[in-house]
């Protein structure tokens, strides 16, 4: 018998990387040799702690996402062993979406075949740019040629469903041609693209360079120009801009990420992983060594938690609704407040009083989300 209290979406954080990218502020563990067996054993132990007494036929999962870090660093056999450990506690639905984040240099036909046979249905490839000078500046471990090679390997290994990640709005001194990058991405015919504007975080190499005055963030005008160029080029190529940072061909939206935007429950495993049960959000400790030690000692590796009150819930519903092409179900007071946005062409009103932002509106989304939160709280 299925249990309705178990989350149908699971995120697993795989922290290992060959080196830290210049912009990265994520929880990673740089390792020359990845401790695959230790990591899989720790995930198995965390599952036992978190879901003690759950029988695998009670817990059916619709989406499973391996993020990082660089999950592909586990290799062909490591990913298979990790999926095997998870299947000891949960059951993947017949049509489950299983996504593996992968760097181009890790993607070979043999690895993809093994991943697919283990249950992976989709790859998220960290391309970031097609400019070799930019990739070097980012401290990436691949060059532009490796991206096309990875796509060929994915297809020959039997995985046609893949996403490409790209970063836009880079510092001016790099002279990066964003239009060329978008064109090269489209030419590879991915089923999905995720595009992220560069954020310079204080604790990163870029952040320290920025503090020393060695680089200047892209101005808002160029951020807007590149974002709108992306929308136009990808819409013309048949992609649906279904969330502020995500584009998909018909039938290929990222189901796991979409679950976050609809506010449903999800589980999180691994160092720094977050999870949400509908009321409480919690997150694990960040360092890999500390997380592994805690679970080995039979202790919950939780690093913190927060219970959402009604105000928090309302704020999140507004923000998450405005992020997507489905929009926000707005009440009369909210629609009245948003009327100037509709007049400016930053939002449209769809059937069912759904307020949907246009691409220009997405660029100003934070201001409307804050304003509508105040309206809803009165």
pLDDT tier, 202 (very low <50, low <70, confident <90, very high otherwise): confident
Looking at the structure, do residues 175 and 67 belong to the same domain, yes or no? yes
What is the model's pLDDT at position 213?
76
The reply to whether 149 falls in a domain is yes
Domain final residue pick, 202, 226, 261: 261
The reply to whether 270 falls in a domain is no
Does pLDDT of 27 surpass 60? yes
The reply to whether 296 falls in a domain is no
Looking at the structure, do residues 243 and 314 belong to the same domain, yes or no? no
What is the model's pLDDT at position 25?
84
Helices 288-296 & 36-50, crossing angle to 10 degrees?
60
Looking at the structure, do residues 22 and 88 belong to the same domain, yes or no? yes
The reply to whether 288 falls in a domain is no
The reply to whether 230 falls in a domain is yes
What is the model's pLDDT at position 214?
76
Q: How many CA atoms lie within 13 A of 342 on its CB side?
A: 13
Looking at the structure, do residues 127 and 198 belong to the same domain, yes or no? yes
pLDDT tier, 4 (very low <50, low <70, confident <90, very high otherwise): low
The reply to whether 66 falls in a domain is yes
State which residues form the domain around 69.
Answer: 9-261
Distance of CA 97 to the CA centre of its chain: 14
Question: What b/e string do you get for 288-319 counting C-beta neighbours within 10 Å, with b at 16 or more?
Answer: beebbebbeeeeebebeeeebeeeeeebbbbb
Q: Which residue has the higher pLDDT, 116 or 212?
A: 116
Q: What is the CATH number of the domain that holds 70?
A: 3.20.20.70
What is the model's pLDDT at position 356?
97
Ranges 28-37, 209-218, 254-263, 313-322: which has the least confidence = 209-218
What is the model's pLDDT at position 203?
80
Instruction: Tell me the residue length of the chain.
Output: 378
260-267: average pLDDT? 94
Looking at the structure, do residues 14 and 75 belong to the same domain, yes or no? yes
What is the model's pLDDT at position 378?
67
Does pLDDT of 343 surpass 90? yes
- 68 DSSP β-pair partners: 14
Domain final residue pick, 261, 293, 324: 261
pLDDT tier, 171 (very low <50, low <70, confident <90, very high otherwise): very high
Does pLDDT of 8 surpass 80? yes
Q: How many other CB atoms sit within 10 Å of the CB of residue 2?
A: 10
What is the torsion angle, in degrees rounded to the nearest 10, for the CA atoms of residue 217, residue 220, residue 222 and residue 226? 110
Give the number of domains in the chain: 2
What is the model's pLDDT at position 1?
52
| Cβ atoms of residues 92 and 123 within 8 Å | no
Both tokens of residue 357? 């932002």
348-353: average pLDDT? 94
Looking at the structure, do residues 241 and 339 belong to the same domain, yes or no? no
Nearest residue to 38 via CA among 19, 58, 55, 15 = 15
Looking at the structure, do residues 170 and 54 belong to the same domain, yes or no? yes
Q: How many other CB atoms sit within 10 Å of the CB of residue 154?
A: 27
Give 108-153 pLDDT, tens digit per residue: 999 999 999 999 999 999 999 999 999 999 999 999 999 999 999 9
Q: How many other CB atoms sit within 10 Å of the CB of residue 145?
A: 11
Looking at the structure, do residues 195 and 320 belong to the same domain, yes or no? no
Looking at the structure, do residues 113 and 191 belong to the same domain, yes or no? yes
What is the model's pLDDT at position 201?
82
Nearest residue to 103 via CA among 164, 167, 42, 188 = 164
Domain final residue pick, 261, 296, 324: 261
What is the model's pLDDT at position 217?
85
The CA-based diameter of the chain, rounded to the nearest angstrom, is 60
The reply to whether 271 falls in a domain is no
Looking at the structure, do residues 193 and 334 belong to the same domain, yes or no? no
47-64: average pLDDT? 94
Looking at the structure, do residues 230 and 135 belong to the same domain, yes or no? yes
The reply to whether 301 falls in a domain is no
- The whole-angstrom separation of Cα 60 and Cα 82 is 17
**Strand pairing of 29-30 and 16-17?**
parallel
Strand, coil or helix: what is 259? helix
Looking at the structure, do residues 257 and 315 belong to the same domain, yes or no? no
Contacts of 93 (CB under 8 A, 6+ apart): 8, 60, 61, 62
274-295: average pLDDT? 96
Nearest residue to 281 via CA among 266, 271, 270, 262 = 266
Contacts of 17 (CB under 8 A, 6+ apart): 24, 28, 29, 30, 31, 68, 69, 70, 73
What is 210-252 written as a DSSP string?
A: HHTTS--PPPHHHHHHHHHHHHHHHHHTT-EEEETTEEE-TT-
Nearest residue to 121 via CA among 98, 101, 103 = 98
What is the model's pLDDT at position 354?
95
Q: What is the CA radius of gyration of the chain?
A: 21
């Amino acid at each position: 018998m299925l249990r309705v209290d178990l989350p149908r979406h699971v995120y697993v954080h795989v922290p290992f990387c060959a080196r830290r990218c210049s912009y990265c502020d994520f929880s990673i563990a740089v390792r020359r040799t990845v401790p695959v067996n230790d990591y899989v054993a720790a995930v198995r132990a965390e599952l036992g702690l978190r879901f003690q007494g759950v029988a695998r036929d009670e817990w059916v999962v619709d989406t499973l996402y391996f993020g990082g870090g660089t999950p592909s660093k586990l290799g062909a056999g490591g990913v298979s062993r990790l999926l095997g450990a998870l299947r000891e506690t949960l059951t993947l639905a017949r049509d489950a979406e299983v996504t593996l984040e992968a760097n181009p240099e890790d993607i070979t036909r043999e690895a993809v075949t093994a991943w697919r046979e283990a249950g992976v249905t989709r790859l998220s490839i960290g391309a970031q740019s097609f400019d070799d000078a930019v990739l070097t500046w980012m401290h990436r471990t691949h060059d532009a040629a490796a991206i096309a090679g990875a796509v060929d390997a994915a297809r020959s290994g039997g995985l046609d469903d893949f996403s490409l990640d790209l970063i836009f709005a880079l510092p001016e001194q790099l002279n990066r041609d964003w239009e060329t990058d978008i064109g090269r991405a489209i030419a590879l015919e991915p089923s999905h693209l995720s595009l992220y504007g560069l954020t310079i975080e204080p604790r990163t190499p870029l952040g320290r360079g920025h503090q020393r005055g060695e680089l200047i963030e892209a101005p808002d005008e160029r951020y807007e120009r590149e974002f709108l160029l992306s929308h136009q080029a990808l819409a013309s190529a048949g992609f649906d801009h279904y969330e502020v940072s995500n584009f998909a061909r018909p039938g290929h939206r990222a189901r796991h990420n979409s679950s976050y935007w609809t506010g449903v429950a999800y589980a999180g495993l691994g160092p720094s992983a977050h999870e949400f049960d509908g009321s409480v959000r919690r997150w694990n400790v960040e360092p890999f060594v500390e997380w592994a030690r805690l679970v080995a000692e039979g202790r919950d590796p939780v690093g913190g938690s927060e219970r959402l009150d009604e105000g928090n819930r309302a704020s999140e519903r507004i923000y998450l609704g405005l992020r997507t092409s489905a929009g926000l179900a707005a009440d009369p007071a909210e629609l009245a407040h948003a009327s100037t946005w509709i007049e400016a062409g930053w939002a449209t009103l769809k059937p069912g009083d759904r307020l949907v932002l246009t691409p220009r509106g997405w660029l100003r989304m934070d201001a409307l989300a804050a304003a509508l939160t105040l309206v809803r709280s009165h």
